[in-house]
Structure 1
Amino acid sequence: MKFNIYGRFQIDVRRVGEEWEVYRLDFGKRVPMEEIVIPPTLAEDEIAIYLDDIFHELAGFGQSIELMA
């Protein structure tokens, strides 16, 4: 799943086995974001809310994290 983080950058979240892995999308590359740990029990539909909790300080007025198609 790809997410637009307040229009500042994009990340890719993938389920690998029992864990979630997070990558920053940067000029055609995926760079691991090992500092971001998503609990393995978190459901797919809860990830955007969790990411908002982590990155909320980057948000401007009215901005949100968006799931990209």
Structure 2
Amino acid sequence: MTARVELPVSERTAQVYRFDVFGRIVAVTKVRDAWQAWFVGEDGKRRHADFVIPAFIEADELAQYLDDLFHESASPDRVAVVRLRAGG
């Protein structure tokens, strides 16, 4: 069972970037000059991701960084990390 993580107000109001990382949904926010990553379950619950995104990575570089980090999870059906639109 995945525990629901209540986000602090600063994280709830931060820009959220969502990605399909080879079939797994990852949400990324920047809080106080540091990236925080979350795995998002099918039920919408989040849990802290077990990887770090360096602070120097720019928002427009997130998809490429995640692709480089998880490229071994690629498959013929999922060949790249895809940024999801809001609510996607």
TM-score by length of structure 1 reads 0.90
Give identity over the alignment, percent.
31
Residue in 1 that maps onto 2:64: 49
Helix, strand or coil: the match of 1:36?
coil
How far apart are residue 41 of structure 1 and its match?
A: 0.9
1:25 to 2:40 alignment: yes
Question: Structure 1: which amino acid aligns with 2:21?
Answer: I
- Please list every run of 5 or more consecutive structure 1 residues that lacks an aligned counterpart in the other structure: none
Which structure: larger Rg?
Answer: 2
Helix, strand or coil: the match of 1:21?
strand
Distance in 2 between residues matched to 1:17 and 1:32, nearest whole Å: 17
1:11-43 CA distance string (max 9 Å, x none): 00000111000000012101101x211110111
TM-score by length of structure 2 reads 0.72
RMSD: 1.1
Per chain length, whose mean CA-contact separation is higher, i.e. which structure has more relative contact order (CA < 8 Å, sep 6+)? 1
Residue in 2 that maps onto 1:68: 84
Helix, strand or coil: the match of 1:3?
strand
- Please list every run of 5 or more consecutive structure 2 residues that lacks an aligned counterpart in the other structure: 1-16
Going by fraction, where is strand more abundant, 1 or 2? 1
Dislocated runs of 4+, deviation >3 Å: none
